[in-house]
Every structure is written in structure tokens, then in C-alpha cells.
Amino acid sequence: MHLLTIFVRIAIFVLFFKWRITYAARAISSTDAGGIGMSKAATFWTASIAGELWFAFMWVLDQLPKTMPVRRAVDVTALDDDTLLPAMDVFVTTADPDKEPPLATANTVLSILAAGYPAGKVTCYVSDDAGAEVTRGAVVEAARFAALWRAMLVLAAAAVPIALVWASAGEILLLFGQDPAIAAEAGAYARWMIPSLAAYVPLACALRFLQAQGIVVPVMASSGVAADKMDAAEDDYLLVV
């Protein structure tokens, strides 16, 4: 498919230059024969077509390696033992927070930390020639965010067995000798709670992250709204004995 696209573009180029040369010859011949205008027109069209041919030639040279691209495959079996992988130091340099936004520096650090490489063998160094406090703060927050998304991955992985347990809560209660009617209601309640795990994973990490930053206003506001809704709603409890 890629080769077909290249050949179609080359065909379009050939047709375009055929039309360009034909049109240029017609335009030159339509000027005053033998006059200065005809000479200028010929010079103009010749220079224009030569420039277009040069750019087309450069494009063809750029397309030649794409006709036979080099594809490399990773030998996964050689990466079974992490101890064989060498330690790697990555340096991120910045000089001016105005010309190099701290957000770009932080994203670079996050990309390095998210690389599929053993965490104990990757060391990221950030060098700021300007010594800007805003850059330092962005990098520190990026490192904290890296810990946040790692925690989210761990909680997401832990949510899978929890969801399986909740899905089988009724059967598990029956194994412990619980009343069948109560076990059925408790199992249905637990199954309806499974979708809440998808919201709990990012919410729990966000709460811990905000608490670590000393930001308590969002947590207080959400707790107040939740308490108000609970007071307004009818009390309904499921008690399993």
C-alpha cells in the first residue's frame, strides 16, 4: 500500500510537469515573437520549471529509502533477565524557562520515567542553567505525579481480584453458612458496587496526592456535599449478620 501511494504521487508529478512544460511553451509562444517580452518569459518559465524539477528530484530521493524500509524486531528472550541490562543515565538540560517552558521539561522527565526499563537502572538528571524556581517546582511535581500514576496502576491491578470477589459474594457467603436470602441480596448489592471501582482508583490516588500537597479545600468541599446529600436521602442500610 505504501509503494502504491509513492507510485501514484510520482505519476501525478509526471502529469503535472507535462502540463507545466506544455503550458509554459504555449505562454512563451503567445508573447511577441522575437521581442524582449518573449525572452523574459522564456527565462522566467525556465527558472520556474527548473526549481520545481529540483524540488521534485529531492522528494524522489527522500522517497527511495521508504520503498524498502528497515524493520527491526526486539529479541524479547534476550531481555528476560533484567540484571543483564546496563544502567542508564539520562540528562535533561534547560536554560531559560521563557524559551523552554517548564511544562515541556516536566513532560520530558515523565516520558523518561515511563520508559519500559527497570526503574532501578534509570537515573534522570535535570540541569537548569537559569536556576529557575518554576522549573524546579515543575520537575518536583512531575516526579510526584510519576508516583501517583504508579499507585493508580497498582490499585487498578488490585481492583481486578476485588471485582471477582464481589461478583461471587453471594456464593462466598453461602459457603460460610449465611442465610440464602441474605446472601442473594448481599451478592446483588456487591455486584452493583463493582462499577464504583473504576471511579475509586483515580479518586483515592487524587485524594492522597492532594493531602500530600497540603490542599484540603477540594476534599472538604466534596465531603460537605456528600454529607448534605446523605442527610437529605432516606437512610437505607444493608446489614449482614
Instruction: List, for residues 116-131, the tens digit of each pLDDT value.
Output: 777 778 888 888 888 8
229 among annotated binding-site residues: no
Say what the pLDDT of residue 241 is: 42
Say what the pLDDT of residue 81 is: 66
> Is 152 contained in some domain?
no
Residues 87 and 63 in one domain: no
Residues 88 and 111 in one domain: yes
Smallest CA-to-CA distance from 126 within 99, 105, 98 is with: 105
Domain span at residue 27 reads 2-67
Is the pLDDT at 32 greater than 60? The verdict is no
Q: Per the confidence metrics, is the pTM higher than 0.75?
A: no
Alpha-carbon distance 235 to 199, whole Å? 23
Residues 107 and 77 in one domain: yes
Q: What percent of the chain has pLDDT over 70?
A: 80
100 among annotated binding-site residues: yes
More confident residue, 27 or 62: 62
> Is 154 contained in some domain?
no
> Is 181 contained in some domain?
yes
Alpha-carbon distance 27 to 237, whole Å? 90
Domain boundary among 52, 67, 82: 67
Angle between helices 180-193 and 133-167 (to 10 degrees): 150
Domain boundary among 83, 114, 145: 145
- Number of structural domains (the chain) is 3
Residues 63 and 94 in one domain: no
pLDDT classification of 237: cutoffs 50, 70, 90: very low
Is the pLDDT at 231 greater than 60? The verdict is no
Q: Which residue has the cell 437529605?
A: 232
Range of weakest confidence among 19-33, 139-153, 216-230: 216-230
Say what the pLDDT of residue 37 is: 59
Residues 88 and 128 in one domain: yes
Say what the pLDDT of residue 234 is: 47
Mean pLDDT of 161-170: 85
- Mapped onto helix, strand or coil, the DSSP state of residue 102 is helix
Residues 41 and 90 in one domain: no
Residues 138 and 86 in one domain: yes
